[in-house]
Amino acid sequence: MREGEFDIIQRYFTASKRAPRKDVLLSVGDDCAVTELNRNQHLAITTDTMVEGVHFLPSIRPADLAYKAVASNLSDLAAMGAEPAWMSLALTIPNIDHAWLTEFSESFFSILDHYNVDLIGGDTTRGPLSITITAQGIIAKDKALCRHNANVGDWIYVSGTLGDSAGGLSYLLQGKSAVNSAQEFLIHRHLRPTPRVLLGMALSLTRLASSAIDISDGCVADLTHILERSQCGAVIELDKLPLSAELVSEFGLAQAEQYALSGGEDYELCFTVPDSNKAKLAKALAHIGVNYTCIGQIRAIHPKNKNRIQFQRHGQRVEVEFAGGFDHFK
């Protein structure tokens, strides 16, 4: 198969033939849809499916599965700057396993409670194991962090460290357990990613960011979504990529960099900040409890280069070979 998920959505599910409803402010194609809610607020809505064998290994513990299914949806809300509110759970299970359901539901409500989210409904059906969550959050009116507003000259930031999840996954794919604390850390980063909810809300409320996306398919792939929507290019400074000491110590710098650029499921935020707002970031984000790093800058699309992203190392242009973003149809 050559086509990927984005081709299918673009070709078949982008729009009906009639005009969109006036209460739909942002539709298919961003981290969330945005609809009207009331005079002061908008509603952000996102849906994510996880299928056994495609999005998670059959060996995953139900507590980790529940956590990650919720976290990935919260991450989409975070990327819009929304405060999480309500969640619907569509759970398809092959049979009724009480131990499994107990562990799954306890973990599920544990993370919901932590983020003050209510489970408001859903559906429980028999079939091959999969989980679809629809999450809804509330945004101050006209403050959604969209993908299409990045501008030439804006600085590109990412939160946390990149590539840890891909490093952790590589152990799980080999059926290996952690043999040291660095490997434990990386596996934990894969199984229990932290959705950057407070960071997203802070960026939305302060209006400091011009665009944002969560890194679920890999930093390069997700930044490319911003660039395509904003019709611009970017330069990434490879030596600025935030890499954890654990990832570098276990995999070496070259592999760590690969994971940081193209590994999926980091669930960090990538966001752009106009130069005029750069100095205000430190104060606005001081109490959020997450690091953030400037890794590059938005540029005009280079006329001679069909790639939207150029890479530099210590200020010198370099070519980077790397795998594309995660796409389960490819």
* Footprint of its own copies (CB under 8 A): 1, 3, 5, 8-9, 11-13, 16-18, 20-21, 23-24, 27-28, 32-33, 35, 37-39, 43, 45-55, 85-86, 88-90, 92, 95-96, 101-102, 104-105, 108-109, 112-113, 116, 118-128, 130, 132, 134, 136, 328-329
**Least distance CB 92 / its own copies (angstroms):** 6
**Least distance CB 283 / its own copies (angstroms):** 31
Strands of the sheet containing 118-126, edge to edge, are 24-26, 33-36, 41-51, 130-140, 83-93, 118-126
**Least distance CB 38 / its own copies (angstroms):** 3
**Least distance CB 107 / its own copies (angstroms):** 11
| Contact assessment for residue 220 and residue 273, using Cβ atoms and an 8 Å cutoff | no
DSSP label at 278?
Answer: G
> Which one, 83 or 246, has the nearer CB to its own copies?
83
CA–CA separation, 281 vs 283, rounded Å? Answer: 6
> Which one, 114 or 280, has the nearer CB to its own copies?
114
- CB neighbour list of residue 231: distance below 8 Å, 6 or more residues apart: 301
CA–CA separation, 77 vs 139, rounded Å? Answer: 9
Q: What are the Cα distances from residue 164, in Å, to 2, 139, 261?
A: 28, 30, 11
**Least distance CB 308 / its own copies (angstroms):** 23
> Which one, 217 or 257, has the nearer CB to its own copies?
217
**Least distance CB 241 / its own copies (angstroms):** 28
> Which one, 65 or 236, has the nearer CB to its own copies?
65
> Which one, 57 or 120, has the nearer CB to its own copies?
120
Closest CA to 216 of 49, 39, 20, 12: 49
> Which one, 56 or 155, has the nearer CB to its own copies?
56
CA–CA separation, 299 vs 204, rounded Å? Answer: 23
**Least distance CB 44 / its own copies (angstroms):** 10
**Least distance CB 57 / its own copies (angstroms):** 14
> Which one, 136 or 210, has the nearer CB to its own copies?
136
DSSP β-bridge partners for residue 131? 50, 91
- CB neighbour list of residue 161: distance below 8 Å, 6 or more residues apart: 242, 243, 244, 247, 260, 268, 291
280 C-beta neighbours (distance < 10 Å), count? 13
34 C-beta neighbours (distance < 10 Å), count? 21
> Which one, 29 or 160, has the nearer CB to its own copies?
29
CA–CA separation, 194 vs 215, rounded Å? Answer: 12
